[in-house]
Amino acid sequence: MVLQAFGGVGVDRTPARLLRWGWRLGCALCLLANIHMGWAQEIRFAIAQAPLTLDPRYAVDAASERINRLLYRSLVDFDAQGRPVPALATWQVHDPWHVSFTLGREGRRFHDGSWLTAQDVVATYRSLLALEDAPHAAEFANIAAMDAPNADTVVFTLKDPDADFPARLVMGILPAHLIARHHDFSRQPVGSGPLRLVEWNRTLRLERVADRQAIVLEEVRDPTVRVLKLLRGETDLLQGDLPPELVRYLKRQPGIRVEETAGTNFSYLGFNLQDPLLKNPRVRRAVALAIDRDAIIRQVLIGGSRPATAILPPEHWAGNPALQPLPYDPAQARRLLQESGLALPLKLTLKTSTDMQRLRLATILQAQMKKAGIDLRIRSLDWGTFFDDVRHGKFQLYSLTWVGVRTPDIYRRAFHSASVPPTGANRGRLRDVELDALLKRRDWPAATARIHALLPYVPLWYEGQFLALGRGLQMRAPAPDGNWDGLATITRGVSQ
Amino acid sequence: MRFLLRHLASVLPVVFGVLLLTFLLLHMVPGDPVEVMLGESATAADRDRLRAELGLNQPLPIQFADYLGRLAQGDFGHSIHTHVPIAELLAQRIPATIRLTLLALVVALMMGVPLGIIAALHHNRWPDRGARLFALTLSAMPHFWLGPLLMLVFALWLPWLPVSGMETGASIVLPALTLACGLAALLTRMTRASLLDVLGEDFVRTARAKGLPERTVVLRHALRAALLPVVTVVGLQLGSLLAGAVITETVFGWDGVGRLLVESIEKRDYPVTQACVLVIALAYVAVNRLTDFAYARLDPRVRFV
């Protein structure tokens, strides 16, 4: 058609030649692209966010924590109820100040071939305490001394008694000889975990130690692109970080297997208790009563999501199954606001990030609260700005999720009077003497009941977890906290 | 030589302005790299120590002066998060962005200029209407939407090209096409409008009256004059392509300067953000200067003094 158009006025045919060559070049590139698709037996995993560091001493983001669990082994891990269980070592509490750990035989070969000993454990924790810019150093400030009387035993001496001390030792162990050489673990990790790093360039190339299965992690930020890559066969596995409609779409696709499981990551609506309106407990309760959690869970969240009552789920050893979710009662919410002498509609502002799912949930909350006489305005901010505002108390309401919480220490970090930022995560600035005393006594049932009554957060839900597998892949169900431990055993089975 | 030096000197205030503005904006927006690095568990003392180590506790003028001093020695500094030298990061990323941008430009020229010519030569007939509709449709599509749409068509429905990534040579086709579409639309409209103007000029009528073949009249006489405004647009838009690559690179997982910029802003990695903005600003300035020179080559009436 183009040629005819040119030809119609007798113009030079050079553009036509160019178009022909362009078409040929395009076809050649397409061929190249399809040659690539037949390549490898590697297992490709598309992730929303690449890890920032592979040095467990510096890891704070979820992706780094999840991959470091596979590259390194720690002394201790957790069972399904959140109780610490032996990983590299068993332990014995001699008295409130002394805990000894005895290394077992499993998982003690570092990826460089050296043998993991008690000296490596001591060197790892000493280096952590010596680093000025390590985010986790403060958690181990209670350690007074560490000794390795033999190759298999480490004795920790504490400054103050700490019944939960073993549960803190979940950081990966590094080889002492590389620590001494100031090895860059952030890009060249050497651990004793089930996976070892081959290369980290554009993608993170890993190899499973047991069978040399290649596993490639590729950062693909856009959720739609991740789904398209799975459907196209460019990636084999997706886990988490997809909006529910895309998960539902994947469920309908032939050759894609989606597995969902109950989650433990806790989503909540946080109040600023220094705000003149929200320091009134009736107003906080009215906001809580104005939210129809069940409808949101049913309509908008992925399978496996369930209503929440406290940060730790009821099945956790420090969870509180006696707590009941707050009901949905907009009429009662409206009455509470009127009894507080407030003019309706009550104007409140909710800050949230730019994440599409969070924005969608915010608009649903906005619509639900309208019925209770609350005019909820939404401010969506980029992550850095949003989190900075939350840390500095520049908000009325905000929504966030606690990810991967395993120990009841979280209650102290999130609600104790001494944990107001910058020294903790008491972002709502709750100050309650009774709660402080309960937290000090580690009386978790009473403390969680008190938090439930004070309502510094509106507990929303525990987000369900899912994974989507391409044709022929076999992997165990996703972990409730969304970790990637399944990569240690994933296989290419028989096509279904 | 003096001419070149004069032009280089005129660039310096622009670069200084960009550096100052970026530096101030980055430090004005909320968000603290120390918070991002240390999380919420760290003590206030830890935060202060790290802030001092990174030089973030210094007054802003001193931080800026330090930065300029290092930059004058060719030292972009290190990434706050990964500790990798920024020059190394840029050396990895700039070629990818240039490759993408240049291919997008070539595709846009190959689409836009011929379509514009066809539209002008068939003024108000169906090829013209078709070209205008095509241009309007393309210019109305934002990159973040067009990208996934092209993926759906060319990677999923017609499995010809990879969805994203940089593994094969063909990986560049879809991002380049996405980036090219907006410019192609603009070039179609510019070429059409400009050629229509020129075709009504006296010198074109004279050329026809002399009995020259129509293709000579159009290609040698009319098109050369009509391309002057198109060259200006191409120059200006090449800068925009670099900036537009920020979104396209993010959607397609293309490891260029744009993606590095987005990541560094999210992590509040100030030195990396500043370096990326500087590179993009320098590219803008350089392309604009080159456009000026090209203009002088195409139009003998334009002279630089």
C-alpha distance from B10 to closest chain A C-alpha (Å): 36
Check CB contact under 8 Å for B37 and A220.
no
A8 CB neighbours in chain B (<8 A) are 121-122
pLDDT more than 70, % of chain B: 93
A47 CB neighbours in chain B (<8 A) are none
Which CATH topology does A73-180 take? Dipeptide-binding Protein; domain 1 (3.90.76)
The residue written with tokens 């040659």 in the block is A35
Mean pLDDT over A1-19 rounds to 46
CB nearest to A12's CB, from B83, B215, B251:
B215
The residue written with tokens 């504490």 in the block is A158
pLDDT at A99: 95
Where in chain A is CATH 3.90.76.10? Answer: 73-180
pLDDT at A201: 84
pLDDT at A383: 82
Residue A36 has pLDDT above 50, yes or no: no
Cα A213 to Cα B25: distance, rounded to the nearest angstrom: 47
Name the CA radius of gyration of chain A, rounded.
Answer: 27
Residue A229 has pLDDT above 90, yes or no: yes
What 8-state DSSP symbol labels residue A408? T
φ, ψ for residue A399 (rounded to 5)?
Answer: -125, 135
Average pLDDT, rounded, for chain A: 89
**Does A389 touch chain B if contact means CB atoms closer than 8 Å?**
yes
Where in chain A is CATH 3.10.105.10? Answer: 263-463
φ, ψ for residue A45 (rounded to 5)?
Answer: -125, 115
Q: For the segment B255-271, what is each residue's pLDDT rounded down to a tens digit?
A: 888 888 888 887 788 88
Three-class DSSP category at A457: strand
Scanning every residue of chain A, which has its alpha carbon at the shortest distance from the alpha carbon of B255? A202
Three-class DSSP category at A411: helix
Cα B150 to Cα B158: distance, rounded to the nearest angstrom: 10
Mean pLDDT over A439-453 rounds to 95
More confident: A436 or B56: A436
CB nearest to A389's CB, from B30, B44, B148:
B30
**Does B164 touch chain A if contact means CB atoms closer than 8 Å?**
yes
pLDDT band at A421 (very low <50, low <70, confident <90, very high): confident
pLDDT band at A6 (very low <50, low <70, confident <90, very high): very low
- Residues shown for chain A: 496
pLDDT at B265: 84
Residue B146 has pLDDT above 60, yes or no: yes
pLDDT at A141: 87
Mean pLDDT over A82-109 rounds to 94
| Side chain identity, residue A37 | M
Beta carbons of A248 and B175 less than 8 angstroms apart: no
The residue written with tokens 């929504």 in the block is A399
Q: For the segment A306-338, what is each residue's pLDDT rounded down to a tens digit?
A: 999 999 999 999 999 999 989 999 999 999 999
For A361, what's the count of Cα atoms within 13 Å in the CB-facing half-sphere? 32
B255 CB neighbours in chain A (<8 A) are 202
Cα B111 to Cα B215: distance, rounded to the nearest angstrom: 20
Cα A82 to Cα A77: distance, rounded to the nearest angstrom: 9
A19 CB neighbours in chain B (<8 A) are 110, 114
Most confident of A287-296, B158-167, B217-226, B234-243: A287-296
Say if residue B288 is exposed, middle or buried (CB neighbours under 10 Å; 0-12, 13-18, 19+).
middle
Within 10 A of A300 (CB to CB), how many other CB atoms are there?
A: 15
C-alpha distance from A20 to closest chain B C-alpha (Å): 11
Check CB contact under 8 Å for B156 and A232.
yes
C-alpha distance from A65 to closest chain B C-alpha (Å): 13
Residue A496 has pLDDT above 50, yes or no: no
Q: For the segment A119-174, what is each residue's pLDDT rounded down to a tens digit?
A: 999 999 999 998 877 778 878 889 999 999 999 999 999 999 988 899 999 999 99
Check CB contact under 8 Å for A5 and B121.
yes
Give which of B279, B226, B208, B273 is closest to B112, Cα–Cα.
B226
Beta carbons of B152 and B164 less than 8 angstroms apart: no
More confident: B237 or A275: A275
Cα B305 to Cα B303: distance, rounded to the nearest angstrom: 6
C-alpha distance from A122 to closest chain B C-alpha (Å): 21
pLDDT at A178: 97
Three-class DSSP category at B94: helix
Q: For the segment A168-208, what is each residue's pLDDT rounded down to a tens digit?
A: 999 999 999 999 999 999 989 999 999 999 999 889 999 99
Where are chain B's structural domains? Answer: 34-75, 87-304
Q: For domain B87-304, say whether CATH 1.10.3720.10 is its number.
A: yes
Three-class DSSP category at A298: helix
Q: Among residues 100-119 of chain B, which lie with CB inside 8 Å of chain A?
A: 110, 114, 117-118
The residue written with tokens 């609260």 in the block is A369
pLDDT band at B25 (very low <50, low <70, confident <90, very high): confident
Strands (E), B30-135: none
What 8-state DSSP symbol labels residue A494? -
A391 CB neighbours in chain B (<8 A) are 35, 40
Strands (E), A211-340: 214-219, 237-239, 257-271, 306-307
pLDDT at A8: 40
C-alpha distance from A256 to closest chain B C-alpha (Å): 15
What 8-state DSSP symbol labels residue A349? E
Q: For domain A263-463, say whether CATH 3.10.105.10 is its number.
A: yes
Whether ipTM tops 0.90, in short, is: no
Scanning every residue of chain B, which has its alpha carbon at the shortest distance from the alpha carbon of A383? B266
| Helices B223-252 and B173-199, axial angle in degrees (round to 10) | 160
Scanning every residue of chain A, which has its alpha carbon at the shortest distance from the alpha carbon of B253? A220
Q: For the segment A260-310, what is each residue's pLDDT rounded down to a tens digit?
A: 999 999 999 999 999 999 999 999 999 999 999 999 999 889 888 999 999
Cα B252 to Cα B247: distance, rounded to the nearest angstrom: 9
C-alpha distance from B190 to closest chain A C-alpha (Å): 18
Mean pLDDT over A455-483 rounds to 92
B123 CB neighbours in chain A (<8 A) are none
Q: For the segment B263-299, what is each residue's pLDDT rounded down to a tens digit?
A: 888 778 888 988 998 888 888 888 888 887 777 777 7
pLDDT at A4: 42
pLDDT at B244: 62
For A336, what's the count of Cα atoms within 13 Å in the CB-facing half-sphere? 20
Q: For the segment A39-87, what is each residue's pLDDT rounded down to a tens digit?
A: 458 999 999 989 988 999 988 888 999 999 999 999 999 998 999 999 9
Q: Which residues pair with A115 in a beta bridge?
A: A109
**Does B202 touch chain A if contact means CB atoms closer than 8 Å?**
no
Residue A19 has pLDDT above 90, yes or no: no
Give which of B142, B144, B150, B157 is closest to B171, Cα–Cα.
B150
Residue A1 has pLDDT above 50, yes or no: no
Which pTM value belongs to this model?
0.81
What 8-state DSSP symbol labels residue A291? -
CA distances from B217 to A405, B117, B185, B206, B230 (A): 75, 13, 25, 10, 19
Check CB contact under 8 Å for A232 and B155.
yes
| Side chain identity, residue A279 | K
Say if residue A102 is exposed, middle or buried (CB neighbours under 10 Å; 0-12, 13-18, 19+).
middle
The residue written with tokens 């000993």 in the block is A117
Beta carbons of A122 and A180 less than 8 angstroms apart: no
φ, ψ for residue B229 (rounded to 5)?
Answer: -65, -30
B267 CB neighbours in chain A (<8 A) are 52, 384
C-alpha distance from B13 to closest chain A C-alpha (Å): 30
Q: Among residues 227-246 of chain A, which lie with CB inside 8 Å of chain B?
A: 228-229, 231-232, 234
The residue written with tokens 């990534």 in the block is B165
Check CB contact under 8 Å for A33 and B168.
yes
Show Cβ contacts of residue B235 under 8 Å, excluding neighbours closer than 6 positions. Answer: B287, B288, B290, B291, B292, B294
pLDDT at A39: 46
Average pLDDT, rounded, for chain B: 85
Name the CA radius of gyration of chain B, rounded.
Answer: 24
pLDDT more than 70, % of chain A: 91
Say if residue A106 is exposed, middle or buried (CB neighbours under 10 Å; 0-12, 13-18, 19+).
exposed
Which pair of structure tokens corresponds to residue B291? Answer: 């456009």
pLDDT at B216: 87
pLDDT at B3: 67
